[in-house]
Amino acid sequence: MLIGIDDLNFYVPSFYLPLATLAKQKGELPEKYHHGLGQRHMAIPSLDEDIVTMAANAAYPLLKKDKGKKIRTLLFATESSIDQSKAAGLFLHTLLKLPRNMRIIELKQACYSATAALQFAYALVAQDPTHEVLIIASDIARYGLNTPGEPTQGCGAIAMRITTQPTVLSINPESGCYSEDVMDFWRPNYQETAIVLGKYSTQKYLTVLKQCWLAYQAKNGKPLDDLYDCCYHLPFCTMAHKAEKTLHILNNKPFNAEKIMPSVFYNRQIGNTYAASLYISLLSLLAHTELNLSNQHIGAFSYGSGCVGEFFTLTVQSSYQNNLRTMAHLHMLENRTAVTYEQYKQWFEYTWPTQGESIICPQITTGRYRLKSIEAHRRQYEKNPHHLELVP
Ligand code: HMG
């Protein structure tokens, strides 16, 4: 029985900060961000967007025409949670009119949690093949103004439906995991922004990649030559170069830097989306590789600081091109508005009420769902009366 991704879609807010604008502000050369980090733009959430609205926007197309009725589990992967107790997915239950007879839970382990969700979904669907699982990864990466991590911020969400009829990618059961208690990146409960040892985190990522590859090989994993390509967690896009080089050196194989370009096409324009980033990269590879990838195996490396890593593979299904939504994604990215540095800073520094005061959120986003208000500590969401349909 095949189990895998039957449908997937990503969403990013309609605003971005060009990294050339940030470079100018910080007195850096734009080349450092464009070539050194491999990033062009950084997606910015407006004041009426959060992980719930991004998640709802990502999931909506997967649930149209009653397609949500077989969903029995919603796994919400995030490290930018809005509540210490209630799972963010419960807000989606109302917004997206999901079935009552289902379970909803939130998962956290830095950028790794969407991969944990994928493995848990695999097991749930194997246990009951009539069962469908909706996975949503939604995050806002925040390091703070004037920090080295600032150009590697971003935000976005991806939704994936896991079934026994995967039309896009089947998941292969072999995988290699590695965990270690390290402090390379973390965010204590009282912090709005992450604390990170940037260079150390990058080294740790590559060490964990090697360990995961070795663990994957020990499970009779496929040799590197059997994989058409690999996708990686992308905190910034040149990380894929570093990872690809590391894996090829480890396997004594020649390394072709150009080959990673299709898998970073979307991420270059968005920035770090934490848990969603590997899966946006996978979608990017499928959508922007000219060759037909049917039946090809793709390697995937997931890394979450702190740290947990996993290497596994997926196999491209023959009908994969029908569910990539490439036109809609390109349209969404091309129709965003560039913000000035001052606008970005104002939104970044906005102070949210913490004492139960009521606020009505300004109407800014053009997304389908928005945060309407916060009243007595309760977040209220709504369908956006000013929504602009993105599909041309
Ligand atoms: P930095 O110190 O500002 O940058 O921090 P740099 O000086 O290292 O320069 C970056 C690259 O640009 C270098 O290339 C430079 O040579 C190059 P590299 O040595 O890496 O190959 N460069 C130029 N290239 C062309 N033209 C120029 C130019 N100038 C310089 N003119 C750093 C960079 C990534 C450390 C920082 O942005 C940071 O701390 N980011 C946040 C942490 C991070 O992204 N870590 C990644 C691994 S950990 C991870 O992925 C998990 C994570 O997603 C969190 C989670 O799991 O939840 C972060």
What does the alpha-carbon distance between residue 329 and residue 237 come to, in Å, rounded to a whole number? 19
Q: How far apart are CA 335 and CA 344, in angstroms?
A: 18
> Pick from 104, 92, 96, 99: which is nearest to 51 by CA?
92
Separation of alpha carbons 141 and 185, rounded Å: 12
- pTM for this model (two decimals): 0.98
pLDDT tens sequence across 23-52: 999 999 999 999 999 999 999 999 999 999
Distance 198 CA to ligand 1 centre (A): 7
For residue 187, give the H/E element and its range.
none
Provide the pLDDT for residue 391: 55
Ligand 1 centre and the CA of 280: distance in Å? 20
Q: Which CATH code of 3.40.50.2020, 3.30.590.10, 3.10.290.10, 3.40.47.10 fits the domain covering 3-168+324-383?
A: 3.40.47.10
How far apart CA 81 and CA 115 sit, in angstroms, is 17
Same fold, 3-168+324-383 and 169-320: yes
Q: How far is the CA of 235 from the centre of ligand 1 (A)?
A: 9
pLDDT single digits (tens) 50-109 = 999 999 999 999 998 888 889 999 999 999 999 999 999 999 999 999 999 999 999 999
Which atom of ligand 1 is least distant from the CA of 110?
A: 57
Average pLDDT over residues 299-322: 98
The per-residue pLDDT for 35 is: 98
| Torsion, CA 161, CA 289, CA 278, CA 175, rounded to 10 | 80
Pocket-testing residue among 143, 202, 232, 242, ligand 1, by greatest number of atoms within 8 A of Cβ: 202
Give the model confidence (pLDDT) of 115-137 as tens digits: 999 999 999 999 999 999 999 99
CA distance linking residue 121 with residue 149, whole number of Å: 32
Pairing relationship of beta strands 227-232 and 297-304 according to DSSP bridges: parallel
Determine if residue 233 is left, alpha or beta; phi over 0 gives left, psi from -120 to 50 gives alpha, anything else beta.
Answer: beta
CA of 37 to the centre of ligand 1 (A): 6
The predicted structure's pLDDT at residue 346: 97
Average pLDDT of the segment spanning 369-383? 97
Ligand 1 pocket, residue 175 CB under 6 Å: no
pLDDT of residue 65: 81
Q: What average pLDDT does this structure show over 341-370?
A: 96
Length of the chain: 392
Residues with catalytic function: 79, 111, 233
pLDDT more than 90, % of the chain: 96
Q: Which two tokens mark 341?
A: 């540095």
The percent of residues in the chain predicted with pLDDT above 70, rounded, is 99
The response to whether residue 122 sits with its C-beta less than 6 Å from ligand 1 reads no
Ligand 1: which residue has its CA nearest to atom 2? 148
In the β-sheet with 41-44, what is the strand arrangement from edge to edge? 41-44, 15-18, 337-338
Residue 239 has pLDDT above 60, yes or no: yes
Q: Are 179 and 209 in contact (CB under 8 A)?
A: no
Mean pLDDT, all residues of the chain: 97
- 197-214 per-position pLDDT tens digit: 999 999 999 999 999 999
pLDDT tens for each residue of 137-185:
999 999 999 999 999 999 999 999 999 999 999 999 999 999 999 999 9
Partners of 124 in the beta sheet? Answer: none
Q: If we measure between CA atoms, which residue out of 202, 194, 200, 197 comes closest to residue 232?
A: 202
Tell me, what's the pLDDT at 388?
78
Cis (ω within 30 of 0) for the bond into 307?
yes
Q: Taking the domain 169-320, which CATH number applies?
A: 3.40.47.10
Range of weakest confidence among 201-205, 257-261, 343-347: 257-261
Q: Residue 383: in which H helix or E strand, if any?
A: strand 378-383
Task: Indicate the pairing of strand 15-18 with strand 185-186.
Answer: unpaired
Q: What residue has token string 């956006």?
A: 384
pLDDT exceeds cutoff 80 at 392: no
Other C-beta atoms closer than 10 Å to the C-beta of 260 total 26
pLDDT band (50, 70, 90) for residue 309: very high
Domain ranges within the chain, ordered by starting residue: 3-168+324-383, 169-320
* pLDDT recorded at residue 66: 82
